[in-house]
Amino acid sequence: MQIKRFSLKHMREEAAADAATEEEKTVRSLPEMIDDVIRNYHRTELSQMDDIEVLLRQALFADYAKNEYQLLYIHSKFAEFRASLEQHFAKEEAIVFPLMLDETRRNRASWVKVMELENEHSQAEEKIWDLRQNTSYFSIPSDSCAAMQDAYRKLAVLCDGISDHIAEENGVIFPAYEKLIE
């Protein structure tokens, strides 16, 4: 068995490497942060929502007689949730992110547009809260078909990802933008 040696020098080097990684994270430019959020969250979540829509449609037809009430609830609420998110992502990509990246238009008026996004984030969080409450935190209904089980698992993952997505925009990107317009 090989014994790993930890010298003081080695520990200092590791700490310095960790600090460098942390610094890299914090010194990302605004265009990089926006690019990351589009790639890591928007594209991923759009594709997750496509999958969930197909699964819920399959479940609707397979399980309707067995589980009508829950299916009608989740099928309708998911459609509403998905539409609001798609519209929000499109607004960010088509209007607000380009505005944030335009150095000649960084002012209080652009900040108001950013605050609109924060407001929409609160509405999305409320929808997630309702979905979680009304599905007992995505507990899979008994006797449900494979599509329904898969849809619930994927919905739970999607909602967790959206919460992280919102935290990244509200907690990292918007404050970085606010500094640029001060």
Footprint on this chain of Fe ion (rule: CB under 5 A): 92, 169
Count how many residues are written for the chain. Answer: 182
Query: In the complex, what is the shortest distance from the CB of residue 120 to Fe ion, in angstroms, rounded to a whole number?
Result: 7
Q: Minimum Å distance from CB 167 to Fe ion? A: 11
CB 36 to Fe ion: min, Å: 11
- d(CA 99, CA 135) in angstroms, rounded, equals 38
71 vs 100, which CB is nearer to Fe ion? 100
The whole-angstrom separation of Cα 35 and Cα 48 is 19
Give 37 or 59: the residue with its C-beta nearer to Fe ion.
Answer: 37
Distance separating alpha carbons of residues 124 and 45, to the nearest angstrom: 14
Q: Closer to Fe ion by CB, 37 or 74: give it.
A: 37
Q: How far apart are CA 170 and CA 61, in angstroms?
A: 39
Indicate the residue among 42 and 55 with the shorter CB distance to Fe ion. Answer: 42
**Helix ranges restricted to H, the chain:** 8-26, 30-37, 44-63, 68-91, 97-101, 108-134, 146-168, 174-181
The least distance separating Fe ion from the CB of residue 42, rounded to whole angstroms, comes to: 6
Q: How far apart are CA 75 and CA 6, in angstroms?
A: 55
CB of 150 to Fe ion, least distance (A): 25
Nearer to Fe ion, 60 or 96 (CB): 96
